[in-house]
Amino acid sequence: MVAAALTNDVLLSVHLSVSYGDRPVLREAEFEIRPGEVLGLVGQSGSGKSTLAMAILGLLNGKRARIEGQIRFQDCDLLQLSERELREKRGRSLALVLQSPLSSLNPALRIRTQLREAWHAHASGSGAEADRAIRSALDSVSLPSNDEFLRKYPSQMSVGQAQRVLIAMAVTHRPALLIADEATSALDVITQSEILALFRELNRSTGMAILYISHDLASVAGICDRIAILHDGRVVECSATAEIFANPRHEYTKRLMAAMPQMPRQIAAEPLAAEAAKRAVATR
């Protein structure tokens, strides 16, 4: 199993099989992400989405996973790196945002402390340098960067604010690729829309590529350039978002489409309407 060689037009190339014992989870799952692209990876629970994200980040070590294939990112195969080399990639070139913000933050530490620790984990510098980077990251996710906010504990914030803090942590070092694994599934509908709009704005303002993982086809409609459909451990279809909605080819994609409310399908087919809707949410 050999992945295609990377070109200047490809940031990440995945060709991957993963098994836990005798149980295959990913079966030659294959896709690419271009620099600056937002790719949606959609599949039902148990389809292998989170396993794929953990494999890209090198977080399956010790989980008795058998991994075959290649994960080529920038100039290397991530599967061939040592743990030290992977740590250098994670947080700087690769970053992750998970779905449960309040459980991902340490309830006993103030926000400033957690953001500083995240910055110092991947950079050396003074406290003043860390604070400048932290305030810039908070500004980029539309959170206050003043001392009053930085002194807060996670329990003193809304779930939406906590998710923005996690995103700020992830983008502090301006990674080339951000992986968002079900990053809005724990949020209410309005907050979900705001976070989706934030991801797209970060993509546009920084040029950062995003792998947006979700079980919900509707949630990826307005922000993704392309969508890959993961079913039974395989990528069964991968096309431009408009093409997926206008002309789904695989039977599983058609079933996902049939299960969607009509309005998101209409919005997905009309990019300008989707953009207007996102701007309206962002300016509330």
Into how many domains does the chain fold? 1
Residue 216 pLDDT class (50, 70, 90 cuts):
confident
Residue 70 pLDDT class (50, 70, 90 cuts):
very high
Domain membership flag for residue 179: yes
Residue 168 pLDDT class (50, 70, 90 cuts):
very high
Domain membership flag for residue 11: no
Domain membership flag for residue 13: no
**Residue written as token pair 């990377």:** 6
Domain membership flag for residue 1: no
Domain membership flag for residue 3: no
Domain membership flag for residue 231: yes
**Domain that residue 144 falls in:** 33-62+82-282
Residue 8 pLDDT class (50, 70, 90 cuts):
low
**Is the predicted pLDDT of residue 176 greater than 80, yes or no?**
yes
User: Tokens for 6?
Assistant: 């990377």
CATH number, residue 130: 3.40.50.300
Q: 12 and 37 in contact (C-beta within 8 Å)?
A: no
pLDDT per residue as tens digits for the range 186-204 = 788 888 889 999 999 999 9
Residue 40 pLDDT class (50, 70, 90 cuts):
very high
**Is the predicted pLDDT of residue 4 greater than 60, yes or no?**
no
Domain membership flag for residue 71: no
**Is the predicted pLDDT of residue 262 greater than 80, yes or no?**
no
Domain membership flag for residue 69: no
Q: What is the mean pLDDT of the chain?
A: 85
Q: At CA 113, angle to CA 160 and CA 282, rounded to 5?
A: 25
Q: Rounded to 5 degrees, what are φ and ψ at 232?
A: 55, 40
Q: Tell me the mean pLDDT in the region 14-23.
A: 92
The Cα–Cα gap between 176 and 24 comes to: 30
**Is the predicted pLDDT of residue 235 greater than 90, yes or no?**
yes
